[in-house]
Each structure stands twice: as C-alpha cells, then as structure tokens.
Amino acid sequence: MMSEEKSVRMSLFGIALILLLAFSPLVNAQQNTVSATILTEWVDDGNGNLTHGYRIILSESLTFSELEEISVTIEHVDAEGDLVDNWALDWTGGNNTELALVINSTLNWKDSITLEVFQTGCCSPSTLIGSRTIQVTIWNEPLSDHEITRVTNWDMLHSSNELSDSQSWDLSFIGQGWQQRTGDVLESNELGSGTLGIEESTEGGDGEIALFLWLDTVWLNETILGMNLQSQTFEMRGNGTISVNTSEDGIITEIDGDVVNSYIIRSLNQGIVEEQLRIEANGGLSINGDGGGESIEANGTLALLLIETHDLDGERLLSNTEFEGTADMSLSGDDYQMDLDINQIISRERWENGQLHSSLNRIQGDGAFDFAEQDENGSSMTVNATVYDFFQETVNGEKTGDRIHVDGTFTGDVNGDFGTVRDIVATNHTQANSTGDEFNVNVIFTETWLNLSGIGNNPFDMEAIHNKTWEYEAPQEHWDNRTVRLRWNSMEGGEPSEGDEFPERSPIQNNLTPPEVESVVGDLDITRETGISPAELMVGDRLDLLSSEIMHLSVTATQTGIVNRDGHTIPVTHWTGTYGNEGSAFGAVINEGVLAGLITEVSRNVSLDLGDGESAVFEETQSLSRVLSPSIITESENTPPSVVSVSIREGNLLNENGNIAHLEVTISDPDWNVRSVEADFSVGDLDLGTIVLNDIGLDGDISIHDEKFTAMIEYSGTFSGDADVQINVEDDWVTVDIVSTIFVQNRLPRVTSLDFSPQSVNRGDLTTVTISAEDSSGVSSVGVDTTEWGGNITLLDLVDGVWIGEIVVPMNIPSGNQILPVRVQDGDGGNGITTVYGNGEQLQALYILNEGPAVSNLTFYDEGTITTELDIPSSGTNYYTMTATVTDLDPITIVQAKLGVLAPPGESENWVSMRDDGQGVDAIANDGIWSVEVEVRPWVPSTAVVEVRGIDQQLAQTPISDRSFTVDLGTSSGGENGGGQAVLEGASQTWLILGVIGLFLVAAIVGLTLWIRSGGLRDMISTPEDPWN
C-alpha cells in the first residue's frame, strides 16, 4: 500500500516537474520580449511655447489586457536637485504600440527628467522594460566644462525694398570658431576674414551708394549665462572701395574712392544694441551733364571722405562727416564757356549726443567766363570776364563768409565794362525786423556796375548801371526767410533809386535737426537657432528650437554614427531639420560623454521673410575641428584614476584639537579629468564625517592642479594611533575607493599657567616655579629642563592641583628673557617638552640679569716678548703692545682702554678701541684676548694707571671697580736711552715744568720783536688805498 502511494506521489511530482519545465520558457519569453523606447516630443504647442511631451514606443504590439499592465513613472528634478514634480501614469490614451503623453511642467536648463516603464501581471515583482534619464541643456551647448574649436564658413544677405528705395548688404565669412564653458558661463568666438558688400539707393531712386570691403578681421563673440544671451559683439575691419552715383536734372555726379580705414562694430549687451561705424576714403569725383545745347563737366580730387557714427540703445551718440577736395569745372553752351577752379571744398559736421558740436562748410575758387550774343538784326557782342574770387563759408551752422569779385568787358556793337563786388562788411549787428524784434545779423554789401564806352545805335538797349545794396541777413543757415532788412541805392539809365524794406515774417526760426539712427548692418541680429534640447539625442527624438527671435528649427533625430575628430572616435546622432517653410538644416550631434549635445557638423540654408519688405538669406557650414579640453570625451577613452599616497603634511594629526593639520591625497590621473576627491572618516575611529579635498589653492592647498588634493582637518577626540580613512576619487566616468591609514599622535599635556618667584634673577640664584597643566588622561609629571645651558631636569611636586619646585639658574644661561622648556607627561605615558601654552603662545620668560664683561690678565709685550716693566726713554718713544683677556656670557661688542700717559699725545683721557681680529698688533683673531699699542715717552711718571672696559650686546659694561690697572715704569737697563729718574735728579718735577714754560716765553718774545722790526706789523695793518711811504 505504501509502495503504491509512493508511486502515485512520484508520478504526480514528475508531471508537475514536466509542466514547470514546459511553461518556464514561455514565462521567461514573456518577460524578455517586450521593451519600451522613450523619445522626446518637445515641440511647439502652436502658440510659440514648448510642449513637455514624450512618446513611448513598445517593441511589439500588445493586447488591451496586456496594455493595462503597463505603467509609467516620471520624475522631474531641477538644477538644484529639488523635486519639481513626479507622476505615475498608465497606458490610457495609447494604442497597441505607442503612447504619447504631455507633462504639466516647464523644462529649464540643467533639469533632469527620469522616465521608467514597468510591466506588471506577467511576473512578480514588476519588470522594468524601459528607462531613460535626460539631462536638459541648450542646443550645441554641452553641460560639462569644455573648450573646442571649429571651422566656419557662412554667407548672409540682408535686403530691404520700399517703393523706390532699397538697401542690401552681403557678408561672407571664413574662419575658425572657439567655444569654452566654465561653470554656467559659455563663451564663443569666431575669428576670420571675409567680404562685405553694401548697396543702398538714395531717396527717390535717383542715386546709389555702393561699398565693398575686403575684411581682414571678422570677429563674432558671444557670452551666454545659463540660458540667456548676455552679450554679443560683431566686429568687421578692412579696406576696399566706395562709390556714390546720383542723377538729378540730367546731371550725373560720381564719387569713386578707396577705403583705407574702416570698421563696423555691432554689440548686444543685456538687450541693448550698440553700433559703431567708421569709413575713411579718398579718391576722385566727376560731374557730367548734357542737354539743351549745354554741357557741364567737372573733375576733382577727393582728399578725405570720413564717416563716423556711434549709436547706443536707439540714440545717436556721435555723427561725424568730413569731406575735403578740389575740382576743376567747365560749363559750355553754343555761345558761352565758363571755367572755374575750385581750390578748396570743405564740409565737416560733428554731432555729439544729439547736439551740434562743430561744423564747417567752405568753398573757394576763381575762374573766367566768355560768351557771345547776337540779335536778329545781326548785331553782336562778346563778353569776357574774370572771377577773381568767390568764397562761401559757414561755421557751426552760421554764415561767416560770402564774397565774390567779378570784372569783365564787352565789345562789338556795344563796348563797355561791368563788375560785381560782394562781401560781409559787419557781423553781430543788431537789427530790428518788421515787427520790431531785434536779431544779430550779418550786413552783406553788394556793388554792381555796368559802364558803356561806345554804344553805336545801342542794338541791345543797354543802359549804364551802378547799384549798391545792403542785406541785413540772419547768419543761421537753417532758418528760412533770413533777410531782415534790405536797403539799396542805385542808378540805372541816369535815374536814381533809393529804398529801405523790412520783409514780413523774417526771419523764420527753425531748430537744427540732429541725425537719425540708421543701422548700417540692418536690424538683423546675427544669431543661429537655439533652444532647450536633451544632452543625449536619441534616434526618433523630435524637438523644436524656439528661443531665437527669427530662426525656429524643427529637429528630428534620424540615425546614429561615428565621426573622427582630433584623434577622437566620437559617437553621434544624425539629424535633419526645417525652418518652417523657409529653409532646412542637417548635421550630427555628440550623443555620449562630457561633450554630449555638441554639434560636430552642420549645414544651414535658410531664407527669412522679415516683413516690411525685408528679407535675409543665411547659408553656413560648420565642423568641429579640435577638442582642447577635456582630453577624454567618452568612457572608452578613460583611464581610471589611482591614489598614490595619503599623508598628513605636518607628519601627524594631534588629538584633543592639538593642531590644524592638512590631509594630502596625491592622485595619478593621466586623463586629468578628476572631478572630486573625498575623505570618509566614518570607516575608522575618527568621527570627522566626509571631507571634500581640493586642488585649486584653497583650504591650505599650496599648488594649483599638481594632483595633490588638500583639506584642513582638526580632531577633538582622544583616540591615538593608526586610524582608517576611505578615499573616494571620482572622474567623469568612474569612482575609485581605497582605505588608507593616518597616524593620530597623543597630544602633550597643555601648560595653562607658569610663574617664577622671583621673576628677575642672577646666574646661580634660586627661583621657585609654579606650573598648572591639564590633559584629558591626566598629568603624571612636570619638570623644568635647563640642560641646554649646563643645568639639569628639575621635577616639580604636585601641591593642591599645581606643580611647584625650586630650580638653580645655570651659570651659562644668557642674560635677558629666557624661555625655560617644560617637560610634561600624561596619564597614558605620552611625554615631551614644550615651550608654549596650550593656546600656542610662548611660556612666561625668566629674566636673567646681565653682568658686564670681566677683564683680566693685563699683559705687555715688547716685540712679542712679555715684559713686566716699561722702560722710560731719555728721548724718543718706546712702543709696547698691551693685551687683556675679556670674557662675558653675552656677545662682546667692543673693548676699550683709557691709557692715560701711555696714550698718544692728546688722547690720554679718551677711550681707545682695542681689537681681537688678528689685525695690527693683535696676534690671534677671536681668542678673547684684546690688544692695543701703548707709548712710553720721556719725563712720564714711574707709575701709570690704565683702564680697560668691555661692553656686551646688552650694553652692560665692566664694573668701574674692576677696570683699573697700575703699571710700573722704569729706566732702560743700559742707560742708552737716558731719561727716567736720571733726568729729574736734583730738581723737582714742578720747577722743571716751569722752566720749560719760561724757555718757551723767552723764545716767543724774541721772535715777536724781530717780526715787528722787519715790517711785519706794518704789512699787516696797511691797506692798498693808503700805503705807507
């Protein structure tokens, strides 16, 4: 029976096992066959706003029941790491393979979006079938710090047409681009060369201005902070040609010049546009015209054409134009010819901040004209005239010159002469107008005459004329009806005429009209498409770049690929895009690593309708050239960093806040892309948490970017010995962790107070020392160490919580304030010597009283041999060397001797320096024996007193009682030198001295008498004007 039951159980178990094995592959297959791809759908919502949307695409079609098992979670985190919002969604609204969803949040730069797709029901727990984390950046702007260069070629044509007026400029550029990100700031530059052509029709379409420049410098600079364009500078410099053509009333004027110095600078800073222009040229001008049997021709030289403007935020800060030249002009007809030599044409006008700063208009020249006239009866007349001078000038908007002088003759059937003289004869003249209002005016006098000398039958009906007029004219050239008064006195045909008129509504005052702002390069900002985009673009992603004012690009990622640049193999995502219906672009963007989001190559072709007759065409190709930093841009290129050493710069870390130490971790990273180094002390016995180290010169780091990372640490606990610390090193791709040890040294007990009694002592004295000390493990002994000066270690006794003892001041200790080292030992056996308090200040000093140098062993030498008696010569001088041994515990600065009768004449009471430098009479340098030369002369006493004193570094001197020495003097043993007592025998010293003085007086009186007799007195008191005879 048991056997049958067992058999049945075995059979059932076998069947169950077979079923399990059969169905397991089906379950596993169901788990692994479905996957989900998450794609961006960041597109225009139709109102110019970006939709935060996604498409989730399943790898296979699922039934509705299976779709109910699909769930989606989304988490949106901002740049600061704060949660914006999160969502949990099902498949509602999707079909069998795709779900489109829109999130109610706004995307911003550096946000992070994490999406996860789960499948439930098929298995437990839920299975993750798709996920994606998206870092939000700006198109073509990687989030990580980087520096790259690119090659750029572009051409921009901007044109506007309005009725008969038109304007266009065509800018071509080829050059190198540079881009660098540092933190939140992205800076980019493009520098190269190109050409600029500007054409503009004049008002009414009767003229054209054309400027063509070869640009040796084209520079575009942009600075972006986060998502916002902070500044943009566009600069062009070069030279070229300029031409101006006008046509009016059949007269064609042409100016052709060479541009020698020009620049155009346009900048945008915080939304404010600034534009500067300078064009300087020289060349030639010509005027031609024909019609009605008449012609005009003029040729001239353009010495200077200068145009300068400066506009800021819609206001013209500077407008400066200068024109200087000369011209020869010829006007001719069927019966006349006029030639003019214009030797000066000047036109200058400068406006600053809407106010006229200065202006000058001047034309000056001379010439001649001839013509002939004939009536229907055959009478004829020939006119010949000379224009001696014509001059017109306006300064700062007011007329300052109006002069002409013409003289001529006519011959034929009528003979005579004629002429005109005109000039300003008065300025700043006050004149009332017709209403009595007074104005300052110029008084312009004009005199014309015509004289007849032979008229025959006067076929031309000519009369003699002599007219004089005075015009009272307001000098302001921008006013209308400027003649305030007109006075004349004339004679025509023998009939006199005289008058005085005041024209009505004269003058009509007008304000000066300042130049208006007009952009040379148009109102088109030089910018490309930009906007929010994922750092890593996936195939199938769609996004609209809407942040540019005029260039909106819709992008679709199409496929992945590889590009090779600057030795790097770079994974990219290819994309295509359209600018609405106005153009297209295509290119590739890096989809992995620190440069994710950077365009490696792009081609743009766009035509923009700007409205109001304006349009722009922009064509460009760009290609990544070099990657300057980082050196590693993908994980496959990366070499993980390694920790070379972990150490304390000071050697050890003291416990109980004993010191501020510097933890130094040396890293080896051939790729130079370490982003952080941290020390985690929680793994050991030190409760210091996690500390961030740096290699940028902060927190005690002594060298920037030397791969030695540093942090300041201080430990307040009592642990001592080896302590573990975990070092975490993170680069752009991996994190390396190692555990190392640092030694924590037991801190010595801290001296909190120290006193001496007495405080000032002599060497060899006793003084009482009182010391207070503390330590967390207790203080076991305290002593004072004077072994440095030949003393010993004196241990103190603990009395009522303080350490007290008596020490002997060593004999060899220097004078002044001296710090006595204190030897301490704690309860754990740690011991050492300290000279500072626990707060780091030096211990209280013991003041050692100073004693002057000691002088001994006064010795005399006679030519190197010691002598005990100095001989007194009978004549001349005997020389000896005197030495003395001078000692002091402090450095000796000087030794001096007062030699009395042994000193040179006149120095008996002076202190004479002795020497110990091995020079002169001194035998050996720095042996403590000081030397000086002494002199023994006749008639000195038999006993002399000398003094020797030393002065040390503390200015202490040899005591007075210890510095005097008595020296015995005697006669020469052979008597050859005489002197000594023999000289003084039979006479007292006093009478001898008086006798010597008497001899000097007698000699002086005799000499004076002889001098007077010889005329010396007379020569001294006589003068040249009154000589003696």
DSSP 603-627: EEEEEEEEETTEEEEEEEEEEEEEE
Please check whether residues 502 and 392 belong to one and the same domain.
Answer: yes
Please check whether residues 199 and 338 belong to one and the same domain.
Answer: yes
Phi–psi pair at 81, nearest 5 degrees: 85, 5
Mean pLDDT of the residues in the chain: 86
**Which one of 635, 655, 673 terminates a domain?**
635
Q: What is the mean pLDDT of residues 967-986?
A: 45
* Residue among 246, 342, 264 at smallest CA distance from 302: 342
* Residue among 280, 365, 378, 373 at smallest CA distance from 330: 365
- Predicted confidence at residue 977, as pLDDT, reads 35
Q: Best-predicted range by mean pLDDT among 279-283, 556-560, 966-970?
A: 556-560
Overall domain count for the chain: 9
Residue 528: inside a domain? no
Residue 533: inside a domain? no
Please check whether residues 164 and 299 belong to one and the same domain.
Answer: yes
CATH number for the domain harbouring residue 61: 2.60.40.10
Q: What is the mean pLDDT of residues 612-621?
A: 86
Residue 877: how many CB atoms within 10 A of its CB?
A: 11
Q: Which two three-digit tokens encode residue 556?
A: 């679709």
Residue 980: inside a domain? yes
Residue 735: inside a domain? yes
- Predicted confidence at residue 521, as pLDDT, reads 60
Please check whether residues 310 and 187 belong to one and the same domain.
Answer: yes
- 238 to 262, 281, 356, 521: CA distances (angstroms): 6, 12, 29, 15
Cα–Cα distance, 184 to 223 (Å, whole number): 10
* Residue among 757, 735, 730 at smallest CA distance from 675: 730
Q: Which two three-digit tokens encode residue 398?
A: 């007011």
Residue 536: inside a domain? no
Please check whether residues 860 and 844 belong to one and the same domain.
Answer: no
- Predicted confidence at residue 942, as pLDDT, reads 84
Q: What is the pLDDT of residues 98-148, one digit of tens each?
A: 999 999 999 999 999 999 999 986 555 789 999 999 999 999 999 999 999
Cα–Cα distance, 711 to 727 (Å, whole number): 12
Q: Which long-range CB contacts under 8 A does 239-243 form with residues at least 24 apart?
A: 239/213, 239/214, 240/196, 240/211, 240/212, 240/213, 240/214, 241/211, 241/212, 242/209, 242/210, 242/211, 242/212, 242/279, 242/281, 242/283, 242/305, 243/209, 243/210
Please check whether residues 951 and 873 belong to one and the same domain.
Answer: yes
Determine which helix (DSSP H) or strand (DSSP E) holds 997, and give its type and residue range. Answer: helix 989-1013
Q: What is the mean pLDDT of residues 614-624?
A: 91
**What residues does 721 pair with on adjacent strands?**
744
Q: What is the pLDDT confidence band of residue 485, given thresholds at 50, 70 and 90?
A: very high
Cα–Cα distance, 376 to 384 (Å, whole number): 22
Please check whether residues 160 and 295 belong to one and the same domain.
Answer: yes
Q: What is the pLDDT of residues 686-744, one digit of tens each?
A: 989 999 999 999 999 999 999 999 999 999 888 888 999 999 999 988 999 999 999 99
Domain hosting 3: range is: 1-33
Residue 487: inside a domain? yes
- Predicted confidence at residue 105, as pLDDT, reads 96
Cα–Cα distance, 418 to 407 (Å, whole number): 6
The alpha-carbon radius of gyration of the chain (Å, integer) is: 56
- Predicted confidence at residue 831, as pLDDT, reads 84
Please check whether residues 579 and 681 belong to one and the same domain.
Answer: no
- 155 to 103, 167, 178, 616: CA distances (angstroms): 40, 17, 19, 10
Please check whether residues 889 and 861 belong to one and the same domain.
Answer: yes
Determine which helix (DSSP H) or strand (DSSP E) holds 674, and give its type and residue range. Answer: strand 674-680
Cα–Cα distance, 731 to 667 (Å, whole number): 11
Q: What is the pLDDT of residues 919-961, one digit of tens each?
A: 999 999 999 999 999 999 988 888 899 999 999 888 889 998 8
**Which one of 635, 666, 700 terminates a domain?**
635
Least confident of 3-17, 333-347, 355-369, 828-842: 3-17
Q: How far is CA 202 from the centre of its chain?
A: 45
Which amino acid is located at 903 in the chain? A
- Predicted confidence at residue 522, as pLDDT, reads 56
Residue 532: inside a domain? no
**Which one of 820, 848, 876 terminates a domain?**
848
Angle at 455 between CA 452 and CA 457, to 5 degrees: 150
pTM, two decimal places: 0.61
- Predicted confidence at residue 1024, as pLDDT, reads 37
* Residue among 594, 621, 560 at smallest CA distance from 731: 594
Question: Percentage of the chain surpassing pLDDT 90?
Answer: 62
Residue 559: inside a domain? yes
Please check whether residues 77 and 221 belong to one and the same domain.
Answer: no
CATH number for the domain harbouring residue 912: 2.60.40
Please check whether residues 926 and 780 belong to one and the same domain.
Answer: no
Q: What is the pLDDT of residues 487-538, one digit of tens each?
A: 999 998 778 999 999 999 999 999 999 998 877 665 555 578 999 999 999 9
Please check whether residues 331 and 223 belong to one and the same domain.
Answer: yes
Between 188 and 525, the higher pLDDT residue: 188
